[in-house]
Structure 1
Amino acid sequence: MAEALLNTMGQGRFRAYSAGSHPTGKVNSFAIEKVQSSKYSTDSLRSKNWDEFATSDAPKMDFIITVCDTAAGEVCPVWPGQPISAHWGFEDPAAVEGTDDEKRRAFDKVFRLMTNRVRLFVNLSFGILDQTAIKRELLNIGKTDAAE
């Protein structure tokens, strides 16, 4: 969901990739449903392992933002080029057990929170902020839950 949000809301200024430490091999159907219901493209979405982006021939990353609460405790790969990193923890909606409606509500909640944080991110003044200020702003955005 974060990949679709940033690629859409960034209006061509960013190229986002989503990946995980333990991908399932397919994008969660509730995530696809949520992204499609928001009229965002799902064409390029696929399940990816983050190791794909830690190689020397991977796309250059300026930012690495982990979003899953469980990722905060994991050892991330060493990313080429020393991108600015931050953690924006969200409860994993794919881990919710229950009815389809309960699962949809979990995806809705995370999507709203992600949308709010991505909106703050894409509106940062990257042209006037230095790396330290950008890092500070990314960390602050990770604490923002105003959309709940």
Structure 2
Amino acid sequence: MAEALANHLGRDKVRALSAGSRPLGYILPETAEVLAEQGIPLDGQWSKGIDEVPVDDMDYVVSMGCEVSCPVPLGFKGRVVEWDVPDPYSHDLEFFRSVRDLIEENVRSLLASLALDAWRDTAYGRHQ
């Protein structure tokens, strides 16, 4: 969900990838359904492990919590962001919706923070 929401809300300004410490190997139908309700596509997404994404090339790693181990590779030089998002697996559709909404709220907050950081890095921002 987070990958789809971040890419959708960030438009062409961010590129988000997701990976899990214990991926299922497929996207749950409930995930696809609650994202489709918001018009968010899952085009090109699949369930993947942390070893399947280029973590060393990333600026940020967001740990979802989910009551599981969320390892960050040793030597990662970017920023690690921790979110406390419950794992919707084996819950009902309403729970999936609540998780979607929580992730969306967190994504919007992170995107706003990134925009503020970018503004601060501009010549105008540095002189204020």
* TM category, shorter: 0.7 to 0.9
Q: Distance in 2 between matches of 1:44 and 1:59?
A: 21
Match of 2:59 among 59, 62, 77: 62
Residues 94/112 of structure 1: CA separation in 2 closer, same or farther (3 Å cut): same
Q: Measure, in 1, the Cα distance between the counterparts of 2:51 and 2:102.
A: 26
Q: Structure 1: which 4+ aligned runs deviate by more than 6 Å?
A: none
What secondary structure, in the 3-state scheme, does the structure 2 residue paired with 1:82 have?
coil
What TM-score, normalized by structure 2, do the two folds share?
0.82
Q: Structure 1 89/17 Cα, relative in aligned 2: closer, same or farther at 3 Å?
A: same
Report the Cα distance in structure 2 between the residues aligned to 1:6 and 1:79, rounded to whole angstroms: 25
TM-score (norm 1): 0.72
Structure 1 residue aligned with 2:124 = none
Aligned residues: 119
Superposed CA RMSD in Å reads 2.0
> Which structure 2 segments of 5+ residues have no match?
122-128
8 Å Cα contact 1:3/1:16 also seen in 2: yes
Could you say what secondary structure the match of 1:23 adopts?
coil
Q: How far off is 1:68 after superposition?
A: 3.4
Compared CA separation, residues 27 and 79, structure 1 to 2 (3 A): farther
- Aligned residues of 2:56 and 2:77 also touching (Cα < 8 A): no
How many percent of aligned residue pairs carry the same amino acid? 27
Conserved in 2, the CA contact under 8 Å of 1:90 and 1:110?
yes
Q: For structure 1, list consecutive stretches of 5 or more residues without a partner in the other structure.
A: 97-102, 131-148
